[in-house]
Structure 1
């Protein structure tokens, strides 16, 4: 790749990171419903045309940038996780909620709206599907419903970790989840080649 291509990629990543950070900061301050694209642009010091080059609207920004963030966190954590552990992505997600409870309260807490909850669920489902597709041996339709089930369960536990009045640690959430769904998934783990 040319140095021009690398610098363009850096600029794109920087712009996306700045927009994501601005959105999260504003959501924490005001709540998602009270944040506008104009607010995000002002906070990020990014032009309107640049924003719309990358995203359709603030919902698109939330979904895509949060998914990219989770994907990067999962990749970073993958080196420390045994490949045979089918629930490894959940451990990472629970750890992120424990490390960033204010963000997760804004996304899925009691005061978040249906759109935020569904967007966060879609983000979690996409990440889980990416991470588990090659680990589980099941037909596509069964895989899709399994991911739907797992993602809603993960969302519930993420909320429990993030809420201050529900003292559930990331490790406790993972252990509970593993006890409930681990045996069923373990029977579907693809054997090593």
Structure 2
């Protein structure tokens, strides 16, 4: 009864805030339900009823916010991509010289630390979506938004403005490698710290064939 009294407050702003909290709780519950069900049975086998049962919500609440399960997944994926987009402006200011300077100093690049911090926060969702029961279309989006942008931004200007076929392959090679680093880290349960992962990412960019494989 206590919570009902709060929600029935006569002040419009209070009522609106209460409604906002209900919406947030409902979406959070559906997100957690989606993650659990993706891990258990895969997206193709999930129904709206499954999501509602797991989230302890009725179908009406689900359809107040989402058209179907595909829309639910897309909304949560887009939220992650929007957060990552906020880091892209900082990526555009990184140069190869910056990375090398931090590498020589033995200090992780702050942007990479922030990136891995965010990926850790989202690791449950990313593990489910990038896994065998998730969405095969999401990995290429993540590779393009994070890995390709990062690699392209540290190229010399002449390669960015007029890329050759070889440069395209170069970017694709390193972008796929960095996606592999992210995926492997998430699969392993994000055991390493964000600082260590930033150092690993920087080290792998500068490692040469035949060189000792040490951090």
TM-score, length basis structure 2: 0.51
TM-score, length basis structure 1: 0.56
Correspondence for 2:38 among 6, 27, 35:
27
Structure possessing the higher radius of gyration over alpha carbons:
2
- 2:22 aligned partner: 11
Q: Once the 2 structures are TM-superposed, how far is the Cα of residue 172 of structure 1 from its aligned partner? A: 3.9
- For residues 8-65 of structure 1, the C-alpha deviation after alignment (integer angstroms, 9 at most, x for no partner) is 2111111111111111121222233322221001111222232122123223222323
Q: Is 1:105 the counterpart of 2:127 in the alignment? A: yes
In structure 2, the gaps of 5 or more residues are 1-11, 87-92, 96-108, 151-156, 162-167, 207-215
Query: Structure 1's 171 and 179: CA in aligned 2 closer, same or farther, altered over 3 A?
Result: same
Q: Distance in 2 between matches of 1:105 and 1:158?
A: 10
Q: How many residues are paired up?
A: 163
| Pairing 1:39-78 to 2, within 5 Å after superposition | 39-68=50-79
- 1:94 aligned partner: 116
Whether the 8 Å CA contact 2:42–2:133 is kept in 1: the answer is yes
| Pairing 1:111-130 to 2, within 5 Å after superposition | 111-112=132-133, 116-119=135-138, 121-122=140-141
**Aligned-residue RMSD, C-alpha:** 4.7
Q: Distance in 2 between matches of 1:105 and 1:28?
A: 8
